[in-house]
A and B are shown apart, each in its own frame.
Chain A
Amino acid sequence: MITTDICIIGAGPVGLFAVFEAGLLKMRCHLIDALPQVGGQLSEIYPQKPIYDIPGYPAINAQVLVDNLMEQIASFNPGFTLGERVEGLDRQSDGSYIVTTNEGTAVHCQVVVIAGGLGCFEPRKPEITNLERFEGKGVAYMVKNPEQLRDRRVVLAGGGDSALDWAVFLADVASEVTLVHRSDTFRGAPDSAEKVFNLASQGRINLVLQSTITSINGNGHLQEVSITAKDKTVTTLPADHLIPLFGLTPKLGPIADWGLTIDKSAIHVDTTDYSTNVERIYAIGDINTYPGKLKLILCGFHEAALMCQSAFRYVHPDQKLSFKYTTVNGVPTF
């Protein structure tokens, strides 16, 4: 089991900055995020957009801000569990918590900080008969390890950049790649679209356009997909894997069942320290709500600083906290 002082749920900008504030007070952090990369909304929704309201930066590209935050916290050596979604929370008799993920990772901590933003980014699922029945049995919504697809028959669905990129990549890995798209043109990067059309003309990608996947079947594991064309004709294709790639959408998810006071998908907090109604659980950033709340990165940073001052008493109950500027002592490391 992973042991840490603070378990931070969400590695968006606010969760990342909380590591810095915690580190200044000699508290160790472990972050968990459902996405395979850090950065939250900045990396997932708008990595190339400039942000204009970060103090000290007249303009900063969203992904650069995330990279800078990672550099800023590097000396505190936070732990990361990425690509896993927090599901369980168990209070221990001494008041500490064990946080668990959908993949069975367990983190023992003194304090839980929910920096979950809009919630978990979950895959957008198409309406395909039997889809959920075959999740983990041939159906996946992201390619975690392309090697698992080696010499297998793979069907991809979608028309965005990730569908195009994976079709090109898997043409060299899988025994058969089929890309199903509802239109007859691709609006992803023109370069990727051209590669897909070229590979299709060489017979290395099977392109099925103007069509959608309507049902899937198998005996325990996926065996075939049924594809319905615009003219309503249905064809059935043998397949070992189906990967629908339609992007992600945020959902509050399991946090909603933890006994926290929640209003319209946001957690109520006390603005003196951003604590929730449950002892040792704090909520900072876009996921919390209080009178006057602004969903801005800057506000989340402020909340992280106050939260850490309050969390200190649970992590170091025997020590007295004295406030110091970083300019006085510099940045301590572990």
Chain B
Amino acid sequence: MIQFTIQDRTGDRQPIEIPEGINLSLMEVLKASDYNILATCGGMALCATCHVQVLNGLDALSAPQDAELDMLDTLPDAESDSRLACQIRIDESVEGAIFRIKSDEPV
């Protein structure tokens, strides 16, 4: 099992456990766990509606690719610990990480 933590927009933290070997992105896990995120582009690093901040475990994650960095550059509130949830694969690198949902709530 891979374990990590999600902090929602109200500051609430919930642990999440995912079996190893499941090929999902963090965005897909957030959607499946009923977190309110848009993920408009379906994971193509084109919309940034899956923006998260990595509060713990940033260095262990695989490095962002160009498309992700380009998109993050267009966000007014991106920080050095910002990532796009759709570009983060759920594997052992996310063990123990804490992700804060940064994107706006869909209205």
Contact = CB atoms under 8 A, between A and B. Distances in A.
Given A45-B41, A265-B107, A188 B77 contact: no
Secondary structure at chain A's binding surface: helix, strand, loop or mixed?
Answer: loop
Interface residues of A, number: 28
A136 to B, nearest CB: 19
B21 interface: no
B66 interface: yes
Interface string B63-74: 000100110011
Contacts of B48: 247, 249
Interface in A108-133: 118, 124-127
A159 B73 contact: yes
Interface string A126-162: 1100000000000000000000000000000111100
A159 B76 CA distance: 9
Nearest to A118: B40
A207 to B, nearest CB: 15
Contacts of A246: 74-76
B70 A187 contact: yes
Given A127-B77, A244-B76, A249-B48, A187 B41 contact: no
Contacts of A159: 73-74
Interface string A21-62: 000000000000000000001000110010000000000000
B107 A252 contact: yes
Contacts of B107: 251-252, 256, 265
Most chain A beta carbons < 10 A, residue from B47, B73, B78, B107: B73
B59 interface: no
A276 to B, nearest CB: 19
B106 interface: yes
A158 B74 CA distance: 6
Contacts of B104: 249
A256 B107 CA distance: 9
A250 B105 CA distance: 11
Which 4 A-B pairs rank lowest in CB-CB distance, beginning with the nearest? Answer: A126-B76, A160-B74, A246-B76, A247-B74
16 contacts: A45-B40, A45-B41, A118-B40, A125-B76, A127-B77, A158-B74, A158-B76, A183-B73, A244-B76, A246-B75, A247-B48, A247-B74, A250-B40, A252-B106, A265-B106, A265-B107
Given A127-B77, A249-B49, 4 more contacts: A45-B47, A125-B76, A160-B73, A187-B66
